[in-house]
Amino acid sequence: MEEYEEDLQLALKGKKPKKREKKEKKEESEEEGEDGEKKKKKTERKEIPEDPDKIKNALNKVKASLIKWRAKKTEKDENKAVSLTTSKINYIDPRISVTWAKKWDVPIEKIFSKTLRQKFPWAMDVDEDWEF
């Protein structure tokens, strides 16, 4: 049951693993009856097997799908930062960022990595009154 607590928390937040969403959509889909009216499908729930090996296999499958889902989510979140770094290097004048950091007392180390500070030493000498 502990494995499902996180799923429950995600469901309460409105976030669900894709497999579960697809399954729920499929269950909720409607099909027409003999008289032409739309009726909801009746889905039968599977009974929990009494064989401990089958239960372990089912739990392992669920755990594996959750691990994959978490990995995809983590990868998606990590990829968001890539474009910010690219923008700082290629598109934004580093003097603008340095001026802003000096004006608002933000350490340059928080904005530029050591490599970028070495790449742009000319931008680090800008006063906080520099206008662009």
Rounded Cα–Cα distance for residues 13 and 62 (Å): 20
At 2, which helix (H) or strand (E)?
helix 2-13
Rounded Cα–Cα distance for residues 127 and 129 (Å): 5
Is the CB of residue 104 less than 8 Å from the CB of residue 96? no
Catalytically annotated residues: 91
Is the CB of residue 10 less than 8 Å from the CB of residue 17? yes
Rounded Cα–Cα distance for residues 40 and 52 (Å): 34
